[in-house]
Amino acid sequence: MRTQVAIIGAGPSGLLLGHLLRQAGIDCVVLERQTGPYVLSRIRAGVLEQVTVQLMERLGLDARMKAEGLPHDGFNLADGERLIRIDIKALTGKEVMVYGQTELTRDLMEATGERGLEVVYEASDVALFDIESDAPYVTYTKDGVERRVDARFIVGCDGFHGPSRKAIPESVGRSFERVYPFGWLGILADVPPCNHELIYANHERGFALASMRSETRSRYYVDVPLTEKIEDWSDDRVWDELAVRLGPEAAANITRGPSIEKSIAPLRSFVFEPMRHGSLMLCGDSAHIVPPTGAKGLNLAASDVHYAAEALLAFFKSNDADAIAGYSEKALARVWKSERFSWTLTKLMHRFPEDGPFERRMQQAELDYIASSEAAQRSIAENYVGLPV
Ligand code: FAD
Ligand code: DHB
């Protein structure tokens, strides 16, 4: 088949981009390796910045998010007994939206039929060809038959492990990476949250995060060494650890319940440059990963999609090839700022095995400074709520 844009991956970036292109009358097809239910079973992000909310509004797919999402105007940093509230609304005039990636993806997925966005699920062996030409193509196998999609552009929205980034020759690309010595063990349970706002805690036993999906569904994380196995973490052990790390006040309000999902995700900072080569553009986790502290991953995927859609619209509607050429630089400027923020907040809130008393004093001094300085709080708030696109 022939189309204008072949999109690889039907996670949030692929579906958002597909819908934006279809809304503008641009032909595209999305190729996804997994089934739809499998994509929805991956429990990930929970906090949306305005850029992500605004894309859903622009698509007219914001009704459920507005009805069921929880607008939050602040969050908390806990250090032992001390709780520092960052009042993002008072400091920036903006707020974030607590609405699960699963729900956002479901809203995008359910609208594909009525909007004529073609998504091919269970497309295996996806491979990219001739990306340095004006006539790139993708091959894949579906139901045992090899198929081919010819396009003017290919957009790689296929996550960290997908084939798109790897299609860019090593001679033109450069990777920047930081791997962290721990992962986040997450638990999802149908119990009310322990606090009405998120709490990021730095405790001597390690990091903990109290988050939520709704008034009746909680999401919690603790950091664990990469050597830990999920089988060794019974629900009780996770709840016990959370109660210690989140501090006595939050612990008193924790409602325990059986986990409906429990998994360990490694932490990584990663950026690949450039985010475009020839007729291939990269969006979201295919080009970069942030450690989850600060909730930036999904929102960065959304800002990439915003820039990519803008460039593709300029190309197809106004024959503007410069917009495509400028995509990588524009997207990377925002990516690096989010990388910086996620890395800084990770360093501030986790106990690194290689750190000693000096590094701990640095964390304490920084938390003291944040607690006492509105300027420091505003800097955190404007990054948390999302830098302008
Ligand atoms: P993905 O969601 O990874 O989607 C890529 C898609 O491509 C997948 O569906 C995959 O199946 C498909 N694919 C892969 N290979 C192929 C192939 N060969 N052929 C075809 N398709 C392929 N971000 C936030 O903003 N806020 C948060 O609060 C937050 N919390 C997080 C918590 C955890 C525990 C984790 C793990 C991540 C979190 N993130 C958060 C990050 C966020 O989930 C990701 O940044 C986001 O999913 C990126 O979207 P994406 O569409 O680029 O990639
Ligand atoms: C969630 C994940 C994050 O990485 C974060 O910073 C805040 C919330 C969550 O899954 O709810």
Distance 161 CA to ligand 1 centre (A): 10
With b for 16 or more beta-carbon neighbours within 10 A and e for fewer, the 28-42 pattern comes to bbbbbbbebeebeee
CB 187 within 8 A of CB 235: yes
d(CA 50, CA 96): 7
Q: Both tokens of residue 69?
A: 């999402």
* Nearest ligand by distance to the CA of 214: 2
Residue nearest to atom 5 of ligand 2 (CA): 295
Average pLDDT over residues 51-78: 97
* Nearest ligand by distance to the CA of 265: 1
User: Sign of the CA dihedral 70, 76, 81, 82?
Assistant: negative
- What pLDDT is stored for residue 55 in this prediction? 97
Q: Which one from 296, 306, 330, 350 is the annotated catalytic residue?
A: 296
Residues of the chain with pLDDT > 70, as a percent, come to 100
Q: How confident is the model at residue 43 (pLDDT cuts 50, 70, 90)?
A: confident
44: Cβ below 6 Å to ligand 1?
yes
CB 245 within 8 A of CB 208: yes
Out of 101, 185, 221, mutate this one to test ligand 2's pocket (max ligand atoms within 8 Å of CB): namely: 221
100: Cβ below 6 Å to ligand 2?
no
pLDDT by residue (tens digit) across 227-260?
Answer: 999 999 999 999 999 999 999 899 999 999 999 9
211: Cβ below 6 Å to ligand 2?
yes
User: Sign of the CA dihedral 46, 51, 55, 56?
Assistant: positive
Average pLDDT over residues 53-77: 97
200 included as an active-site residue? yes
What domains does the chain contain, in order, with CATH numbers? 5-70+100-177+268-347 (3.50.50.60), 180-267+349-385 (3.30.9.10)
Q: What is the mean pLDDT of the chain?
A: 97
Q: How confident is the model at residue 81 (pLDDT cuts 50, 70, 90)?
A: confident
292 included as an active-site residue? yes
d(CA 193, CA 16): 29
Which residues are 311's β-sheet partners?
Answer: none
Out of 219, 260, 349, 385, mutate this one to test ligand 2's pocket (max ligand atoms within 8 Å of CB): namely: 219
Residue nearest to atom 18 of ligand 1 (CA): 162
CB 224 within 8 A of CB 297: no
Q: Can you give the pTM of this predicted structure?
A: 0.97
Q: Residue holding tokens 């360093």?
A: 347
72 included as an active-site residue? yes
Q: Which one from 137, 140, 180, 200 is the annotated catalytic residue?
A: 200
- What pLDDT is stored for residue 4 in this prediction? 98
- Count the neighbouring beta carbons within 10 Å of the beta carbon of residue 143: 8
- What pLDDT is stored for residue 80 in this prediction? 83
* Nearest ligand by distance to the CA of 8: 1
d(CA 2, CA 230): 45
Q: Both tokens of residue 82?
A: 């001390």
- What pLDDT is stored for residue 368 in this prediction? 97
Out of 194, 196, 198, mutate this one to test ligand 2's pocket (max ligand atoms within 8 Å of CB): namely: 198
Instruction: Kindly tell me if the per-residue pLDDT of 296 is higher than 90.
Output: yes
Out of 209, 260, 346, mutate this one to test ligand 2's pocket (max ligand atoms within 8 Å of CB): namely: 209
301: Cβ below 6 Å to ligand 1?
yes
384: Cβ below 6 Å to ligand 1?
no
Which residues are 140's β-sheet partners?
Answer: 147
294: Cβ below 6 Å to ligand 2?
yes
- What pLDDT is stored for residue 223 in this prediction? 98
Atom of ligand 1 nearest to the CA of 184: 34
Distance 305 CA to ligand 2 centre (A): 21
Written in H, E and C, the secondary structure of the chain is CECCEEEECCCHHHHHHHHHHHHCCCCEEEECCCCHHHHHHCCCCCEECHHHHHHHHHCCCCHHHHHHCEEECCEEEEECCEEEEECHHHHHCCCEEECCHHHHHHHHHHCCCCCCCEEECCCEEEEEECCCCCCCEEEEEECCEEEEEECCEEEECCCCCCCCHHHCCCCCCEEEEEEEEEEEEEEEECCCCCCCCCEEEEECCEEEEEEECCCCCEEEEEEEECCCCHHHCCHHHHHHHHHHHCCHHHHHHCCCCCEEEEEEEEEEEEEEECCEECCEEECHHHCEECCCCCCCHHHHHHHHHHHHHHHHHHHHHHCCHHHHHHHHHHHHHHHHHHHHHHHHHHHHHCCCCCCCHHHHHHHHHHHHHHHHCHHHHHHHHHHHHCCCC
- What pLDDT is stored for residue 304 in this prediction? 98
d(CA 129, CA 41): 31
Residue nearest to atom 1 of ligand 2 (CA): 46
Q: Which one from 12, 19, 72, 137 is the annotated catalytic residue?
A: 72
